[in-house]
Chain A
């Protein structure tokens, strides 16, 4: 597609349940990123995939968070045993590698844990 696509756009889940968030990057973008944005706050780095290299997981806040990426396409972010503090907008972005033109972001998934 023309842009970065994220699904679902909204997700309400009960505390303790697992959730999966999906990101479809722009075709040809080898780098993919996940960020978390809590209400009224900035963007918090979670994880970074680039090509076939080992992902940079340094931003994942706990072992309840994990992410996968299939080749240079779709990525899923999984949060296990969700907690109320996981409520946030989860943003995915992709970029070309080489001369850096910045990221293109999706519209995000708003996760609410009740």
Chain B
């Protein structure tokens, strides 16, 4: 099936630093989304992107839907301790509307 390659696998950064993670695929998608998961909870939607080239911000988070429709990135500026968690990219399959495929996740740890 379709796969998303998410990187990096994990990051351990200093509080205040900026963070960047991305997802790539050989397939094209209709929608890209970014989720955050904290321990013991389900993933929570951070940002949804609907058009190729779209750049969207949500507070300190910025994400872009790649122009080729095959990739997306998420940036977090000025990280804080509560940014800790696992970040997943997800993309809506073109053939099966509303069905998402997920990346393997990026584990983010923040050192204060």
Q: Which residues of A contact B (CB under 8 A)?
A: 4, 31, 33, 35, 41-43, 45, 48, 50, 56, 91, 93, 95, 97, 100-108
Contact = CB atoms under 8 A, between A and B. Distances in A.
Contact of A105 (B6, B44, B105): B44
Contacts of B105: 41-42
A33 B88 CA distance: 17
Mostly helix, strand, loop or mixed at chain B's interface?
A: strand
Contact of B97 (A93, A100, A102): A100
B21 interface: no
A15 B14 CA distance: 44
Q: How large is the interface on B (under 10, 10 to 19, 20 to 34, 35 or more residues)?
A: 20 to 34
Interface of B: 6, 30-31, 33, 35, 40-45, 48, 88, 90, 92, 96-105
Contacts of B97: 100
B49 to A, nearest CB: 10
Contacts of B35: 102, 105
A95 B100 CA distance: 11
A45 B100 CA distance: 8
A18 B101 CA distance: 28
21 contacts: A4-B42, A33-B100, A41-B104, A42-B6, A42-B104, A43-B43, A45-B99, A45-B100, A45-B101, A48-B99, A56-B96, A91-B43, A100-B30, A100-B92, A100-B98, A102-B31, A102-B33, A102-B45, A105-B35, A107-B40, A107-B41
Contact of A91 (B42, B45, B90): B42
Nearest to A6: B42
Nearest to A97: B98
B64 to A, nearest CB: 17
**Most chain B beta carbons < 10 A, residue from A45, A102, A107, A108:** A102
